[in-house]
């Protein structure tokens, strides 16, 4: 018997769930099939998360007909696990403290010899200003960055299996592309003590997720996640990236697209089956 498939939906309670979230949640639940569908609340950015949005997430998902085991994992409860993972990475010598502000990075990148700044899946590709600093000189207010070149050298060859409809097959992570287009990503933000990339990898492993379903906008971040799994010696799930729900002008839905909030469709009498139909499922 193949092992049970375990999937998850991992919303951030920073706004109302909209049609794009419903689509992502329904795909994760459908992909779990006879396996397990889990929920995780991604609330590391406490300045943007609201309890009312979290309550609405549970309510909307129940209304859609979804169910999941309790207790639900909440990232704000997981700081010790993130600290432990950062400790493991620091012991491998692939982290360094960084005190650059966004303005510093922009200024360094606009120096005439730098050419056009590169925007990767993690934002502006870091120019490496603090790369020679050691963890021994880390200050509590510093961010921690992954030295991409050393991390890739330590991890060796990396690949992942994509099962989604857009780019199915085995994908080999290209180290040169990672170094030049992703760069030294932040794993611990100064105001948070962790980052999306670190938390998602640590938590997917802790929850035993076997297939990660998520929007195609995160496809290019997968190389970062696979690299962190290798460095932290975690099992590698398979991936299923789905297309994004867009508005009439072709723009992807954002949290502020309240016009497509599930709560609003509910108030207008749309049924859960109607939501499925609206998302094309
Ligand atoms: N929390 C992320 C979001 O709301 C999802 C991250 C993921 O699925 O890996 O967009």
Average pLDDT, the chain: 94
Answer whether 216 contacts ligand 1 (Cβ < 6 A). no
Least confident of 41-55, 188-202, 231-245, 251-265: 251-265
| Cα(110) to centroid(ligand 1), Å | 31
Claim to verify: residue 59 and residue 148 sit in the same structural domain: no
Q: What percent of the chain has pLDDT over 90?
A: 87
Number of folded domains that form the chain: 2
Ligand 1 neighbour 49 (Cβ under 6 A): no
- Residue 213 is assigned to a structural domain of this protein: no
Q: Is residue 6 part of a domain?
A: yes
Looking at the structure, do residues 269 and 199 belong to the same domain, yes or no? Answer: no
Radius of gyration from C-alpha coordinates of the chain = 20
How far, in Å, CA of 17 to CA of 224, rounded?
Answer: 27
Residue 131: give the domain boundaries.
78-206+221-234
Cα–ligand 1 centroid distance for 145 (angstroms): 21
Contact 259, 242 (CB under 8 A): no
Residue 273 confidence (pLDDT) above 70: yes
Distance, CA of 127 to chain centre: 23
Structural domain contains residue 24: yes
Same structural domain for residues 127 and 227? yes
CA distance 279 to 163: 20
213 C-alpha to center of ligand 1: Å?
Answer: 10
Q: How far apart are CA 148 and CA 118, in angstroms?
A: 16
Question: Can you read off the two tokens belonging to residue 194?
Answer: 């962790």
Position 249 confidence tier, pLDDT thresholds 50, 70, 90: confident
Is residue 89 within 8 Å of 50, Cβ to Cβ?
A: no
Q: Is the pLDDT of residue 63 over 80?
A: yes
Q: Of 100, 107, 176, 180, which Cα lies nearest the Cα of 144?
A: 100
Return the ligand 1 atom nearest residue 204 CA: 9
Cα of 280 vs centre of ligand 1, distance in Å, is 21
């Amino acid at each position: 018997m193949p092992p049970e498939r375990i999937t998850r939906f991992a919303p951030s309670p920073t706004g109302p769930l909209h049609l794009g979230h419903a689509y992502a949640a329904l795909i994760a639940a459908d992909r779990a099939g006879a396996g397990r569908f889990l929920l995780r609340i991604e609330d590391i950015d406490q300045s943007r998360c609201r309890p009312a949005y979290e309550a609405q997430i549970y309510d909307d998902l129940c209304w859609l007909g979804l169910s999941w085991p309790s207790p639900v994992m909440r990232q704000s409860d997981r700081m010790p696990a993130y600290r432990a993972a950062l400790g493991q990475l620091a012991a491998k010598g692939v982290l360094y403290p960084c005190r650059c502000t966004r303005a510093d990075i922009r200024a360094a990148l606009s120096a005439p010899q730098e050419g056009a700044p590169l925007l990767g899946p993690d934002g502006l590709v870091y120019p490496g200003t603090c790369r020679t600093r050691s963890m021994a000189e880390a200050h509590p207010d510093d961010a921690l960055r992954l030295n991409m070149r050393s991390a890739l050298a330590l991890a060796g060859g990396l690949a992942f299996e994509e099962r989604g409809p857009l780019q199915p097959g085995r994908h080999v992570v290209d180290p040169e592309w990672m170094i030049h287009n992703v760069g030294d990503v932040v794993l611990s933000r100064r105001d948070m003590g962790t980052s999306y990339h670190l938390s998602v990898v640590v938590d997917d492993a802790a929850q035993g997720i076997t297939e990660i379903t998520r929007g195609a906008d995160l496809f290019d971040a997968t190389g970062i996640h696979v690299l962190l799994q290798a460095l932290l010696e975690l099992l590698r799930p398979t991936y299923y990236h789905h297309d994004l729900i867009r508005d009439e002008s072709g723009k992807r839905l954002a949290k502020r697209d309240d016009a497509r909030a599930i709560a609003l469709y509910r108030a207008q009498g749309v049924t859960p089956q109607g939501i499925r139909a609206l998302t094309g499922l």
